[in-house]
């Protein structure tokens, strides 16, 4: 059985548990697979070593660590992260993470501001367009091009904010993992 198949079956069997706990268990078993593969074992050997997926799921649901396979019992005791990892997380956040995050947030705020100010200007120009007389055609063309410029700014702001949220979420997960488990 491959790692993906094993984890999928385990996830299905653990579906009665809270999502966060299931993710932690899947991450733990996934990292066990990764570590064992680095040591030269095949995915099939690791799956056999872990035992039946359904029995493993039952042992997690019943929270009985003595029923876990021996290879997982050894790793079930949480070891505190080394202090160096926590110092690294703090310094990295202060000197790298925060400035980049603030810079990205400032760009998104500037895009939203540009959209709102251009929208107000766009509406104001429509109120004056009837007074232009002969210059009405260039004014209308300018309004149309301004409208498409507004759409571009809106799309950039939307995708920029989406990317910021995804990046922040991934960054926080990485921080948490590093804080808890260390390097």
Gyration radius of the chain over CA positions: 27
Same domain for 103 and 149, yes or no, is: yes
Reported pTM: 0.45
pLDDT for 75-93, tens place per residue? Answer: 555 555 567 777 888 888 8
Residue 124 and residue 157 share a domain? yes
User: Which one of 76, 98, 132 terminates a domain?
Assistant: 76
pLDDT digits (tens, 9 = 90+) for 146-182: 888 888 888 888 898 898 889 888 888 888 887 777 7
- Looking at 45, 76, 107, which one is the last position of a domain? 76
Query: Cβ–Cβ contacts within 10 Å for residue 116, how many?
Result: 13
Do the Cβ atoms of 180 and 81 come closer than 8 Å?
Answer: yes
Does one domain contain both 121 and 67?
no
Residues 72 and 87 both lie in one domain: no
Cα distances (Å, whole numbers) of residue 133 to 83, 139, 141, 147, 181: 74, 10, 14, 21, 71
Mean pLDDT of 116-141: 76
Summarize the confidence of residues 71-77 as an average pLDDT: 54
User: Mean pLDDT throughout 7-34?
Assistant: 87
Residue 87 shares a structural domain with residue 145: yes
Among the listed residues 127, 106, 139, 55, the one whose alpha carbon sits nearest the alpha carbon of residue 64: 55
Quick one: pLDDT band at residue 120, thresholds 50, 70, 90? confident
The whole-number pLDDT of residue 125 equals 74
Give the torsion through C-alpha atoms of 115, 116, 118, 121, to 10 deg.
170
């Amino acid at each position: 059985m491959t790692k993906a198949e094993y984890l999928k079956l385990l996830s299905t069997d653990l579906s009665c548990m809270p999502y966060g706990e299931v993710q932690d268990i899947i991450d733990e078993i996934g990292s066990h697979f990764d570590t064992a593969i680095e040591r030269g074992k095949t995915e099939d050997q690791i799956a056999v070593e872990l035992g039946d997926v359904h029995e493993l799921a039952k042992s997690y649901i019943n929270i009985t660590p003595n029923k876990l396979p021996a290879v997982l019992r050894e790793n079930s005791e949480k070891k505190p992260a080394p202090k160096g990892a926590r110092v690294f997380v703090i310094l990295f956040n202060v000197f790298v993470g925060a400035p980049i995050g603030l810079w990205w947030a400032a760009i998104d705020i500037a895009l939203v501001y540009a959209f709102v100010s251009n929208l107000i200007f766009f509406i104001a120009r429509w109120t004056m367009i009837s007074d232009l007389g002969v210059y009405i055609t260039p004014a209308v063309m300018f309004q149309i091009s301004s409208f498409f410029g507004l759409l571009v700014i809106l799309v950039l702001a939307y995708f920029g904010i989406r990317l910021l949220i995804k990046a922040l979420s991934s960054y926080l997960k990485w921080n948490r993992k590093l804080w808890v488990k260390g390097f």
